[in-house]
Structures are given as C-alpha cells and as structure tokens.
Structure 1
Amino acid sequence: MIPVQGLSGKRVAVLGLGRSGLSAARALDAGGAMPVCWDDNPEARDRAEAEGFDCLDLRKQGAFDDIARLIVSPGIPHLYPAPNPVVAAALSAGVPVDNDIGLFFQSFATQSWDNFDTAPRVIAVTGSNGKSTTCALIHHIMEAAHRPSQLAGNIGRGVLDIDPPHDGEVIVLELSSYQTDLARNLTPDVAVFTNLTPDHLDRHAGMGGYFAAKRRLFAEGGPDRAIIGVDEAEGQYLAGQLSEGASDDRVIRVSAETKLGGPGWCVYARKGYLSEFRKGRQVASIDLRDIAGLPGAHNHQNACAAYAAARSVGIAPKVIEAAFRTFGGLPHRSQTIAEADGVRYVNDSKATNVDSAAKALAAFSDIRWICGGLQKEGGLGALNAATASVKKAYVIGREAAQFAMQLEVDAQVCTSMAEAVAAAMDEAEAGDVVLLAPAAASFDQYDSFERRGEDFVAEVTKRL
C-alpha cells in the first residue's frame, strides 16, 4: 500500500466505494487521514463499514463542513454531461476534488528514497486503444531485464494498492481519460500517448474535451520523456507542443503507419519491421512478423510505444526483442489460445466495436470469423472494407440474422458460441485462423467481454 501523504489528521470524503474508492480510503487511513465514505449503493456502504470506515451521506446539507478534499471514483462524472450532485456540492463549498491517481502521485516519493542508488520511476500510459497491451508489454520487458516492476491502474492492481517501490523499480500505470482528467497531481517520469479515436465523448463534452483530458498527463505532469503516437492529428499536435524543436529527444515520436525521420528520436513499424532512429541514424531494428503475441499493425504500434518506453529507462534493444518473443499477449486481446492441425485459434473478445474488429481482421489471413452480439451505433459498413481475408463468418448473438445480413461475406447464422465454434472448427483447414472478433458488445448473451472470451476458449478447448 502507498499511504497518502499530506492529509494526516484531516477529514477526507470518498465518493464511490468500488475498487479504487475502498483502496483510497485504506491508503488515506494508513497515512493518518480520517476518511468519510459514501456510495449510493447500500451494499457498497456495508462493505466499507465492515472494514471500519465511517459512512456519511454526502448529499446532505453541511456534509462538507470540515472536509479537506473529496476523492471521486472514475465512473462518477465531475463535469460533463453534468456533475454528480455530491461533486457539485463539494465545488460549491470550495472543497478540492481529486482522485486516487492524484493521491498516488502526491504520495509516491518518500524519504526512504534517499538511501536508494536509483530512484524509482513511473511510466504512465494513456490513449484510446492499446493501453493495456502496451502496459503489460512494458512490464514484461522490465521483468525480462530483471528490473523490479509493478503494474497498476486500469490493469493489475489499484495505484494505491501497490507495494512501496524498491531501489530502481519501474511502476507501469495504465490511465484512462477519466483518471487523467481529474487528478490534481500528475508527475510521471515517462508518459505515453498511444493514439486517439472517439470514445467517452459524453463524459468530455466532445472530442476536444476527450483529447484535453489525455493531454493533461503531459501538460500538467511535465514528464522527463514523452512518447507520442503521431498517426493522428492530435498526436502530431501534442508532440509539437511538447518539443522545443526537431532535434529535441525528450519527445519520442511513434508510428505504425509512417516512416519517421529527422534529427530527433523516433520509433516506427513498417511492413512488420520496427526501427529506432536517433539523430538521423538507425540504431536498432526488430522483425515483428513472426512474434505470435503481437500480431497485426495495431499490436505493432503497441510494440513501438513499449519499445520506446523501455529504451527511455535504459533497456537495451536486444533485451527488448527477446522479451517481445516471450510475450504471450493479454487475455481476450488477439490472444492465441491454441494451434492444432495447422489451425490457429485466436480470442479477441475485446474487439467490441467496428474499429477494433477491423484491426483484428487485418492482422490475419484465411480467417474463419466468429462475430456478432449487441450491435453498436453506426452499422457495419466500415467493417466490410476489412473482410478481404475472411473465408466465412459465423454469427452469434440474439440478433445474429440481422447482423449477418449486413456482412458482405459468406455468413452462417449460429446464434450460440457453441454452434459457431463447432461449425468453424469442422470447416477449418490447415493455414486457417479461427478468430473471435465480435465487433459488438457482449451484453445480449454475456455479462462481460471477458465472459464471452472465456466461453470461446472453453468451446475450442473441449473440441481439440
């Protein structure tokens, strides 16, 4: 645990008692603060009280008298589309609003570091897509390099739940726009921006607000090194704002679409090869094409970002390449679960929208594609442009027939995962890839994309 510093003896309100809220309450208590908790859900309040925390209805008049700060969980809106009434009351009372990320950066460094040979460092990753894979890959590289490392944030443990860092340790954080938007302290040593595509627009009042939330990690934090994906205009703009000029190597530009150059520091992937350039010269190259845990251009972008982050903390290219080759990927994200009789089985249940499914389809050839579910707005028109490698689709979901009618490939209505997997496996030939990339949410049949992916794995496993 990271005990919260700077609030000892003060009453601090905690709104939302899920994982991050309870973690914040524990860390506040460990640092000598007096947490006062609230959640609209009585069961959540019961859990907090069972741990000995006081619960106070923060909606009542005068609730913020003598409160030093309000800590808000990520799922609770603080500004758009409208502030939660408790947040509004805190702001009206002049009480600062923060979250667990702000508390972490406020409290991470301690006097014990004076005895360290190498100060611990924080690598924080944000962006729309690829954050989890990029973070997991950085953490895997650190372990392969025998550097102590912990993984936290939206992946792994809560930021305040991690152990106090060791000498030279690297903390890898996955941060969402909800987290970067509100944190009062953001001071990573290395900050990574993967990419930007529309998401959470209601919470940020549009694309500009969404980008602004991501940008805070760099503008507010002032990292020693900024790694910026420049395949979108926003990334190019951010890199330009942070850099003092073309040769400023505090900014590392990353691309999975464009050959980069110039006198600065850049990492890019083209035709399956990752290249690192610095001061106009190539200093390293890695062939990514046969690395099973990183298939497709979207994973090559993740590899470039992770490579740049690892290089920023002194890891050698050969060590990074060796780590790439032992990276198994994350569950439900382009995860190879089996290979048998020349057929590869890939679980990408996290591909819950058209864009992510299109990237999954672009990563493979000779695909037997399991898709369908609770369709999102916008239709499947953009997805059809990515189906050139699809031999046949096997459609699941309660509205499988309507989903199948929108596809421009041979499609079989299966409805259930069991039927889809059985049909795909019966028809698969050596060289084929049986790919679950639903292009839809899971909630018509499953309570999460993870449960859907687990069902796919179970059905494949029992037939092999």
Structure 2
Amino acid sequence: MIRVRGHEGERIAVLGLGRSGLSAAKALRAGGALPLCWDDGASGRAAAEAEGLDLLDPTAPGALEGVAAMIVSPGIPHLYPAPHPAVLAALKSGVPLDNDIGLFFRSWAEEGWESFDLPPKVIAVTGSNGKSTTSALIAHILREAGRDVQLAGNIGVGVLDCAPAVNGSIAVLELSSYQTDLARALTPDIAVFINLSPDHLDRHGGMGGYFAAKRRLFAEGGPDRAVVGVDEAEGLYLAGQLAEGPGDDRVIRISAAGKLDGPGWTVHARKGFLSERRKSRQVSSADLRELPGLPGAHNHQNVCAAWAAVRSLGLSPSVIKGALATFTGLPHRSQPVGEAGGIRFVNDSKATNVDAASRALQAFDKVRWICGGLMKEGGLDLLHPHLDRVAKAYVIGREAEAFALALGPGVTSEVCTTMAQAVARAAEEAEPGETVLLAPAAASFDQYDNFEKRGEDFASEVARALAG
C-alpha cells in the first residue's frame, strides 16, 4: 500500500466505498489522515466499518465543517449529468475534490527516492478502446525484459494498493476518463493516448468534455514522453499541441490506419507489419500477423502504443518482439474460447460501444455476430461500413428487437434475447472458416452485472454447445 502524503492530521471525506474508495480510505489512514467514509449502499458502509473506518454522511447539516478535501470514487458523477448530492454539498462548502489517482501521483515518491540509482517511472494509458490490452501488454513486455512492474488502475490492483516505489520500478496505470477528469495531480513520466470514439457522453456533457477529460493526462503535469494515436482528429490536435515542432521526439505519433512519415518519431502498422521511424528513416520493424494474443488491426494499434512506450524506456526491438510472441491477451478482449470443425468462437464482451465492436468485426473475415444489450448514445451508424463481414447477427438483450432494427435491412438478423439461444443458433448455423463473435456494441447491465459476467456466460454456452 502507498501511504497518502500531504493530508497528515486532516479530516478527509471519502465518497464511494468500492475498490478504489476503500483503498483510498485505508491509504489516507496509513498516511496519518482521518478518513470519514460514506457510501449510498449499506454494504459499502459495512465494509468500511469492518476495516475500522469512521462513517460520515457528507449531506448532513454541518458534516463538512473542518473537512480538508473530498475523495470521490470514479463511478460517482461530480458535474454531468448532475453532481451527486454529497459532491454538491462539498462544492457549496468550498471543499476541494480529488480522487485516488490524484492521491497516487502526490504520494508515489516516498522517502529515499533520491538515493535510487534508477528512478522509478509511471506509464499512464488512456483512450476509448484498447486501454486494458495496451496496459497489460506494456507490463508484460517490461516483465519479460526483467523489470520490476506493477499494473494498476482500471486493471490489476487499485493505484493506492501498489507497493511503494523501489529502485527502477515501473507502475503501469490504465486510466479512464472518469479517473483523469477529477485527479488534482497527473504527472506520469510517459502518457499514452490510443484513440477516441464516443463513449460516456452523458458523464462528460458531450464529446468535447470527454476529450477534455482525456487531455488532462497530458496537460496537467506535462509527461516527459507522450505517445499519441493520430487516427482521429482529436489525436492529431493533441499531438500538435504537445510538440514544439515537426521533429520534436518527445511526442511519438502512432497509427494503425496508414503510414506515418516525417522528421519526428513515429510507429505505425499497415497490413500486419509494424514500422518504427525516426527522422524519416525506418529504425525497426515487426511482423504482427501471427501474434495469437493480438489479432486484428485494432490490436495492432495497441501494439504500436505499447512498442512506443517501452522503446522510450530504451528496450530493444528484439526483446519487444520476443515478448509480443508470448502475450496471450486478456479475457473478454478478442479472447478465443473454443474451436471445432473449422469454426472459431471469440469472446469480445469488452466491446461495449460501437467503435470497439466495429474494430472487433474488422479482425475477422466472416462472422456470426452475437450483439445487443443497452444501446449507447449515437446509435449504430458507425457499424454499417463493416457489416458486410456479418453472415448473420444474433441479437440479445431486453432491447433486442430495437437493436436488430437499428442494424438495417442489409443485415440478416435473428432476435434471440438470451445468450444461450444466441450461441446455440450461431453454432448450429456456422460453417467452416467462420467466426462466432461476441462483440455486443452495447452495455451489459440489462442482463448482467458487468461485461465480464456476459463474457463468462458466452464462454460457458460455447463449452456447452461444443460438448453437445
């Protein structure tokens, strides 16, 4: 655990007692603060009491008197669509807001830092799609290279549950827009922006607010190195803002959509081949076509981001290539879960938005597509250019009929509603060479607690179908 610094002897409100909130409360206490905890759910409050933590309802009259700050968990809105009542009480009382990410960056450098031969580093990864895979891949490459690595944030452990920094250690953090939006300190050594597509728009008041939340990772502290995906206008704009000129190699531009050239430092992937270029010359390359844990162009974008991040730490191409070959991928992200009779079954339950689902579809030639759930803002129009790969869609979820209609007349679809029926029908109709792909393009909460449960149900039904 990292002891939070800068709040010694202060009363600190902690709102939301899930993984990050409870971790923050304990780390505050370890650093000498007095955390005062609250959660709207009785189970969260009970968990805090079981840890010996004090409870305080921030909305009670006078509750925030003498409180120095409020630490807000990522799932709690602080501005859009409306501030949580406890957040609003803090704002009206002039109590500053922060989160566990801000506490981490203020506390990561403990005593003895100046005595290290090799200063510890923080690599922070954000973007709309591929954050988890990119973060896990960076950590995997570094471990294969013999480095001391911790993976935290939206993946692995909570950031304050990391062990304190030691000589040469590296923390790889996956950070969502919910986390970057509120953190009062954001000072990674290397910051990675993979891509941007519409998501969480209600929470950020639209695309501008969503991009602004991501941009804070680069603007607040100024990383030593910025890895920026430039396949969307926002990435191009961000790279242009950060660079002092075309040859500024503090900004590494990455792309999976086309060749990058020029005097700066770039990494791009085309037709399954990665090319790293500096000063308009190729300095290294890699064949990505047969990597079992990283299929498709969307994963090649993740590889470009990871390659750039670890190259900026001085790792050699040969070490990186060896590590890429042993990376097995993550559950629920282009995860193979079965194969029989020339038919593959792939779990991409993490494809909870349209952009992620379109990237998943592009990774395979002919697809029996299991999709549906709670549709997000913006509809399904962005999927239409990639639906020629779909032999048939099998639609699940409470909104299955509306989802099937939104796919348009060009797609043969069947309303299945349940995962069991969708897998059974897809397995029955699939032909050799086809892929049965779960890539829902929607949230899971109409039928499941989270996307992991949805992916596990898919894998279970695939196992049942193959056994039968």
- Residue 365 of structure 2 is matched in structure 1 by 365
Aligned to 2:427: 425
Q: Which residue of structure 1 aligns with residue 21 of structure 2?
A: 21
Alignment of 1:222-233 (within 5 A): 222-233=222-233
| CA deviation after TM superposition for structure 1 residue 86, in Å | 2.5
Residue-by-residue CA offset, 1:257-293 (whole Å, 9 max, x unaligned): 1211111101111111111001111011111112121
1:224-250 Cα deviation digits (max 9, x unpaired): 100011111111111111111111101
CA deviation map 1:302-327 (0-9, x unaligned)? 11111111111111111112211221
Q: Provide the rounded CA distance (Å) in 2 between the counterparts of 1:412 and 1:61.
A: 55
User: How much does 1:76 deviate?
Assistant: 1.8
1:238 paired to 2:233: no
Q: Secondary structure at the match of 2:147?
A: coil
Q: Residue in 2 aligned with 1:441?
A: 443
Query: 1-side partners of 2:215 and 2:395: how far apart?
Result: 39
| Within-5 A mapping of 1:38-77 | 38-77=38-77
Deviation at 1:115, TM superposition (A): 3.4
Q: Deviations over 1:112-153 (max 9, x none)?
A: 323322111000011111111111111111111111111100
Q: 5 Å matches for 1:181-200?
A: 181-200=181-200
Aligned to 1:32: 32
Instruction: Report the Cα distance in structure 2 between the residues aligned to 1:438 and 1:158, rounded to whole angstroms.
Output: 27
Letter in 2 for 1:459: E
Q: Find the partner of 1:450 among 445, 448, 452.
A: 452
Structure 1 letter corresponding to 2:320: I
- Measured after TM superposition, the shift of residue 200 of structure 1 is 2.0
Distance in 2, matches of 1:442 and 1:62, equals: 40
Q: Secondary structure at the residue paired with 2:320?
A: helix
Cα distance in 2 for residues equivalent to 1:429 and 1:230: 38
Q: Distance in 2 between matches of 1:444 and 1:68?
A: 39
Is the 2:348–2:438 contact (alpha carbons within 8 Å) kept by the matching residues of 1? yes
Cα deviation for residue 336 of structure 1 reads 1.4
Q: In the TM superposition, what whole-angstrom CA distance separates every residue of 1:376-416 from its partner, at most 9, and x where no partner exists? A: 45444442321222223333334545544545233344333
State the match for 1:249 in structure 2.
249
**Deviations 1:198-256, CA, capped at 9 Å, x for gaps:** 22222222222221111111111111100011111111111111111111101000111
Q: Distance in 1 between matches of 2:16 and 2:374?
A: 28
Amino acid at match of 1:98: D
Residue 461 of structure 1 deviates from its aligned partner by: 1.9
For structure 2, the residue ranges without an aligned partner over 5 or more in a row are: none
Q: Please say which of residues 129-138 and 162-171 is displaced more in the overlay.
A: 162-171
C-alpha contact 1:70 1:90 (8 A) present in aligned 2: yes
Residues in 2 aligned to 1:395 and 1:202: alpha-carbon distance in whole angstroms: 25
Match of 1:106 in 2: 106
d(CA) in 2 for partners of 1:443, 1:96: 32
d(CA) in 2 for partners of 1:204, 1:59? 24
Q: Quote the Cα distance in structure 1 between the aligned partners of 2:14 and 2:416.
A: 47
Question: Is residue 38–residue 45 contact of structure 1 (8 Å, CA) maintained in 2?
Answer: yes
Whole-angstrom distance in 2 between the partners of 1:336 and 1:435: 9
Correspondences of 1:20-419 after superposition (within 5 Å): 20-405=20-405, 406-407=407-408, 408-419=410-421
User: Which segment is superposed worse, 205-214 or 1-10?
Assistant: 205-214
Taking the aligned partners of 1:409 and 1:201, their CA distance within structure 2 comes to 28
Closer, same or farther: CA 249–95 of 1 in aligned 2, 3 Å: same
TM-score, normalising length from structure 1? Answer: 0.95
Cα gap change, 1:240 to 1:402, in 2 (>3 Å): closer
Where does structure 1 lack aligned partners over 5 or more consecutive residues? none
Which shows bigger deviation, 9-18 or 387-396?
A: 387-396
Distance 2:188 2:368 in 1: 43
Instruction: Find the aligned partners of 2:148 and 2:444 in 1 and give their Cα distance.
Output: 37
> Cα gap change, 1:254/1:11 in structure 2, threshold over 3 Å: closer, same or farther?
same
User: Contact 2:133–2:302 at 8 Å: present in 1 too?
Assistant: yes
Residues 58 and 86 in structure 2, CA contact (< 8 A), matched pair in contact too? yes
> Is the 1:292–1:336 Cα contact (8 Å) retained in structure 2?
no
Quote the Cα distance in structure 2 between the aligned partners of 1:433 and 1:322: 28
SS in structure 1 opposite 2:161? Answer: coil
In the superposition, relative to structure 1, how do residues 98 and 290 fare at CA in structure 2: closer, same or farther (>3 Å)?
same
Q: 2:199 & 2:378 partners in 1: Cα distance?
A: 14
Separation in structure 2 between the aligned mates of residue 6 and residue 404 of structure 1, nearest angstrom: 53
Query: Aligned-residue CA RMSD in angstroms?
Result: 1.8
CA contact (8 A) 2:197 2:355 kept: no
Letter in 1 for 2:37: C
Q: Secondary structure at the match of 1:385?
A: helix
Change (3 A) 1:200 1:440: closer
Q: Is the 8 A contact 2:199 2:353 kept in 1?
A: no
- Whichever residue aligns with residue 392 of structure 1, its letter is K
Task: Quote the Cα distance in structure 2 between the aligned partners of 1:114 and 1:363.
Answer: 47
Assess if the C-alpha contact under 8 Å between 2:113 and 2:119 holds in 1. yes
Partner secondary structure for residue 368 of structure 1 = strand
Q: Any conservation in 1 of the 2:177–2:213 contact (CA below 8 Å)?
A: yes
Worse-matched range after superposition: 180-189 or 79-88? 79-88
